[in-house]
Amino acid sequence: MLTIYQLDKSNGNVTNFFTSAGSRTEDLECDPISFADQDVDAMWSKDAYDNEIFAFEIPRGTCGIAGGSAPVPPLCLDIDNNGNNDNDEDGLCDNWEAFGIDANDDNVPDLQLYDVNENGTIEASERADPNHKDIYIEIDWMEQHAPDGAALLNVIDSFDKSPVANPDGATGVRLHIQRQEQAVNHNDNFTFGDCSDPAREGVPDFDTVKRDHFGTPSERSNLIQLTAKSFAFHYVMFIHNLLGQGSTSGCAEKPGNDVVISLGGWENVGGHNKGNTGQQSGTLMHELGHNLDLGHGGGDNINCKTNYLSVMNYLFQFDSKYVSGRPLDYSHEALPSIDEGGLSEPPGISGPGGLWTVYGPRTFLRPTVVDYAQVFSLGGLPPNWVVRTPADRPIDWNKNGVIDSDNLVSADINDFGIENHCEASNDEDLFGHDDWSNLFYYFWMRSDFAEGIHLTTAQVDEITYEEAISLSPDTDGDDVLNLVDNCPEVVNPGQEDSNGDGIGDACEPATTKEVVIDIKPGSDPNSINCKNSKDIIPVAILTTDTFDSLTVDHTTVTFEGAGEIHRVSGAPVRHEEDVDGDGDVDLVLHFRLGATTLTCDFTEGTLIGETFDGFAIEGIGTVRMVP
């Protein structure tokens, strides 16, 4: 039994605060936010009998201490006198976003939020806003595991297009990713708390790598500045494999600020197993979801739920595994709960139009279903048949080809045969969940914020490559499972991909136009310092007899996954110039090396985009990467 006493400051007497029967309290929540302007933390509890809520004053900086020392939170202030010190509730206090983070309380900001691309100015797209949700991430990586730039952009875009409401009236979350540096040489293994076997000699460890590489070199030389950054940034490491965990895709604190992406047992890209674009984007968004307190079932950890349309669900973590073109997204609404012991066919899951879902249980015999549903077999033999169906249509739960309005059905619909994840579990109640409305942004309020503390990682056991393959169908019947098929709905057993963009030639738009590009025009050789992430790379799209570079929609252009850079005003750096002296005007765009996928072993760089009338373009140029 826990008893909390209150000091009567008027006379110094200690009295029992709780007076209801039993005088017992339940639950404790440490809160460094609500009373920060009074320079104290609070411990919240409730009376077990009448549910009355109480807040107890405790010394500032107490929250977060759990077997390790967490830094004292900077003051969190109400800057507009509206009674709220975090208007947008994104975990970044209003004064931090507006003026910078003052980590040592000397009234001088130690860190402004934030020059993500490290060009010396905080551009409009990088700046934190007290009235619009922002999330900041620093990504480091192991040698040969630099994150795919397109994968990062996919995740940024998903957050930006989310339905999350903000005080400024706009929707979406601004996800700011600082693609920082290679932090460790290649090693087949890596350790990370309970996510792996214990640390051992010769194997890099997450806490050591983070201690030595979190922050920029200049930030690491200033402990106060580094402390300030720790309150605003999640830290993500892309590595090969977690020690003792085979090909598990990653691990993360739930909730928390630390993430590992471990796709060394997944798809080979560029001569090394590190996961393709879709596998990287799906896994990063999935693991970041755990940091934001999402489980595999949203509000719980029940996986493979038909009524939970989210990248947190193994059914939807990877595109084309079940549903080609599934959105990279968290769930937008809590769909009605489902009782596996009493399934009604007419309402189905009452999902949104335009989306598909999948249901089991697996059957060895091919079932008969209604005409708008699709039957397919999972990977391996004997066949394991499951059903894909529109989320907004009635669902033939018993797979007899008829929608029965009169009788309820009993079926284990989330049994997909994956041990510890999606296995037999009859008569479960499967609850929907609205992910976007329930993200937890205040990681620095939790015990795992203390460095070296990863108490919550043991809650999450992630999917392996072998398990993902066993869940993957072969939609087009070309003997290449969807998970690794570069064109899953068109027969292409040879998997030809002439431009190496991860999309099979059989699926590339016929309108793709090859254009001529000049990387670092005027330089011969066009050398790039591969260790200088701040290096600016100009790339010219040349006008020729058959192509006008000024027809290019610059907003669609990426160079090795990076978008063009902008000035602090928000204006682009691009310009028009006749770079090859042929009398025709060419388009020159600029990209930051640290935002691209270029590494020291590259000899070519690829630019892709579209013209204003929708035709895809692609240009490949040579580069000389200098260590």
**C-beta neighbour count of 615 within 10 angstroms:** 16
Task: DSSP for 468-508, please give it.
Answer: HHHT-B-TT-SSS-GGG-SSTTS--TT---TT-SSS-GGGS
Which helix (H) or strand (E) segment is 280 a member of? helix 277-291
Return all residues near 511 (Cβ < 8 A) that are at least 6 apart.
Answer: 614, 615, 616
Average pLDDT over residues 47-62: 65
Q: For residue 358, is pLDDT > 80?
A: yes
Q: Which residues pair with 273 in a beta bridge?
A: 268
d(CA 251, CA 300): 17
Strand 527-529 and strand 624-626: the pairing is parallel
To the nearest 10°, report the CA torsion of 503, 283, 607, 624.
Answer: -110
Q: For residue 218, is pLDDT > 50?
A: yes
Lowest average pLDDT, out of 358-367, 448-457, 511-520, goes to: 448-457
Return all residues near 389 (Cβ < 8 A) that are at least 6 apart.
Answer: 348, 356, 357, 358, 359, 369, 370, 372, 373, 374, 395, 396
Would you state the pLDDT for residue 140?
97
Would you state the pLDDT for residue 555?
85
Coil, helix or strand at residue 229: helix
Would you state the pLDDT for residue 400?
94
3-state per-residue secondary structure call for 499-513: CCCCCCHHHCCCCCE
| Range 513-626: architecture per CATH | Sandwich (2.60)
pTM recorded for the entire structure: 0.76
Lowest average pLDDT, out of 55-69, 96-110, 442-456, goes to: 55-69
To the nearest 10°, report the CA torsion of 457, 463, 464, 468.
Answer: -170
Q: Domain spans of the chain? A: 5-59, 94-293+443-448, 474-498, 513-626
Q: What is the CATH number of domain 94-293+443-448?
A: 3.40.390
Average pLDDT over residues 309-327: 86
Would you state the pLDDT for residue 380?
61
Local structure of residue 84 (DSSP, 8 states):
-
Percent of the chain, pLDDT > 70?
Answer: 87
